[in-house]
Amino acid sequence: MRIYISVDMEGVTGVVDADDVQPGGRDYERGRAMMAEDVNAAVRGALTAGAADILVNDAHGPMRNLLPEALHPAVRLVRGRPKQFGMLEGLTGEYDAALCVGYHSRAGAPGVLSHSFMGHEIEDMWLDGRPVGEIGLAHATAAALGVPVVALTGDDAACAEMTEWDASVVTVPVKYARDRFAAELRPGAEAREAIEEAVARALSQDPPRPAPSTTEATLTVRWQSASVAATLLGIPGVTADDPRTVRATGELPALYRQFGVWMRVAASLTNQPPYC
């Protein structure tokens, strides 16, 4: 059994603030250690369920948060950027299941460090008219590749967002949001035990694989900056709904990759801190 793990940081056990997840933040080194522990708990669960091959993708910010020496020796790690497939780099239809570890809720949701990909630069996103963030877009893209997302860890808001998207996904709340930068934390040992058990259970259920899909989808993004939207109109197939909102239609794996280009364009035009 081949398992793919996409790892974000805002939904990791014990993390509540930008200083916990940004390089140079006063608690970043502690945050990256907590991130590795959550990943290792998921890896132990996958191995218990019979995984023979596990690929971990560091999907947060600079994508150099996970230290290879801190990870379980059974995993292969994708680290650094740029990555053409971003938070899903390395995911193909050859994997039997995908896990989302340390994920957070979308922009505007009442979750810990909630945002959609780019802090407040992205105000809203929709997939085929349905509000979406990193959770829903990762799930839909994996499904288009024929890979089921079977488990997610994060705060209770992230878990609720995944359940709303797909109730069959096993979720593990490692903290409970009190506000965007505050949470009630589960004890670390308890949270990791829950992650390990949930992943083993989710994979042992022999999750059904979605059929790979070539159906086209429409991704719509409202930006904080009208200059970003205007610049993106130079990309073939991108159209405007209004001065700050653009959309494009295509097959989901390719559309996900194109969205990565949109973000690189936005990053070149703006200098916004990610959480404000």
> Which phi and psi (to 5°) does residue 134 adopt?
-65, -35
Task: Write out the chain's pLDDT in tens, 276 residues.
Answer: 999 999 999 999 999 999 999 999 999 999 999 999 999 999 999 999 999 999 999 999 999 999 999 999 999 999 999 999 999 999 999 999 999 999 999 999 999 999 999 988 999 999 999 999 999 999 999 999 999 999 999 999 999 999 999 999 999 999 999 999 999 999 999 999 999 999 999 999 988 899 999 899 999 999 999 999 999 999 999 999 999 999 999 999 999 999 999 999 999 998 766 665
Nearest to 76 by CA among 45, 51, 50: 51
Nearest to 5 by CA among 142, 121, 127: 142
SS3 208: coil
Task: Report which residue type is found at 8.
Answer: D
What pTM was computed for the model? Answer: 0.96
120 catalytic per annotation? no
Of the listed 60, 115, 120, 139, which one is catalytic?
115
Q: In whole angstroms, what is the distance from residue 42 CA to residue 45 CA?
A: 5
Task: Report which residue type is found at 3.
Answer: I
Cβ atoms of 102 and 38 within 8 Å: the answer is yes
Q: How far is CA 41 from the centre of its chain?
A: 17
